[in-house]
Amino acid sequence: MGRERLLVMCSEAPGENRMTDAPEEMKSFFDLRVDGYDEHMASRVEDYNSFYDKIGAAFKSTNEPIEVLDLGAGTGIELQFILANAPNARITAIDLSEVMLKELLQKYETFSSQIRTIADSYLSLEFKPRTFDYVVSVMTLHHLTLRQKRALYKKVKKLLVPGGTFVEGDYVVFSLEEQRRLLRQFHWQKRKHSLSEDKQYHIDIPCSEETQIRTLKEAGFQEVDVIFRTSKSNIVVAKTERA
Which neighbouring-strand residues pair with 236?
168, 226
Q: What mean pLDDT is predicted for residues 4-13?
A: 37
Is 140 part of a structural domain of the chain? yes
Q: What mean pLDDT is predicted for residues 31-55?
A: 96
**The domain spanning residue 123 has which CATH number?**
3.40.50.150
Q: Mean pLDDT across the chain, nearest whole number?
A: 91
| Contacts of 108-112 spanning 24+ positions with Cβ under 8 A | 108/76, 108/79, 108/83, 111/79, 111/83
Q: Would you state the pLDDT for residue 51?
A: 98
Q: Cα(196)–Cα(179) distance, rounded to whole angstroms?
A: 22
Is 177 part of a structural domain of the chain? yes
Query: Is the model's pLDDT at 59 over the cut of 80?
Result: yes
Q: Cα(178)–Cα(184) distance, rounded to whole angstroms?
A: 10
Is 95 part of a structural domain of the chain? yes
Query: Is the model's pLDDT at 7 over the cut of 70?
Result: no
85-135 tens-digit pLDDT:
999 999 999 999 999 999 999 999 999 999 999 999 999 989 999 999 999
Q: Cα(112)–Cα(209) distance, rounded to whole angstroms?
A: 35
Q: pLDDT category, 21, cuts 50, 70, 90?
A: confident
186-200 tens-digit pLDDT:
989 989 989 888 888
Largest CA distance in the chain: 54
Query: Is the model's pLDDT at 68 over the cut of 80?
Result: yes
DSSP string covering 39-99 = HHHHHHSTTHHHHHHHHHHTSPP--S--EEEEET-TT-TTHHHHHHH-TT-EEEEEES-HH
Is 46 part of a structural domain of the chain? yes
DSSP string covering 139-191 = S-GGGS-HHHHHHHHHHHHHHEEEEEEEEEEEE-BS-HHHHHHHHHHHHHHHH
Q: pLDDT category, 20, cuts 50, 70, 90?
A: low
206-217 tens-digit pLDDT:
999 999 999 999
Domain that holds residue 8: 3-12+19-56+66-239
Is 117 part of a structural domain of the chain? yes
The count of C-alpha atoms lying within 13 angstroms of the C-alpha of 26, restricted to the half-sphere facing its C-beta, is 23
Is 61 part of a structural domain of the chain? no
Q: What is the number of domains present in the chain? A: 1
Q: Would you state the pLDDT for residue 198?
A: 80
Q: Would you state the pLDDT for residue 5?
A: 33
Query: Is the model's pLDDT at 77 over the cut of 60?
Result: yes
Q: How many helices (H) and strands (E) does the chain have?
A: 9, 7
128-175 tens-digit pLDDT:
999 999 999 999 999 999 999 999 999 999 999 999 999 999 999 999
Q: Would you state the pLDDT for residue 14?
A: 52
Q: Would you say the pTM of this structure is higher than 0.85?
A: yes
Q: Would you state the pLDDT for residue 115?
A: 98
Burial 48-86 (b: 16+ CB within 10 A, else e): eeebbebbbbbbeeeeeebbbbbbbbbbbbbbebbbebb
Q: Would you state the pLDDT for residue 19?
A: 53
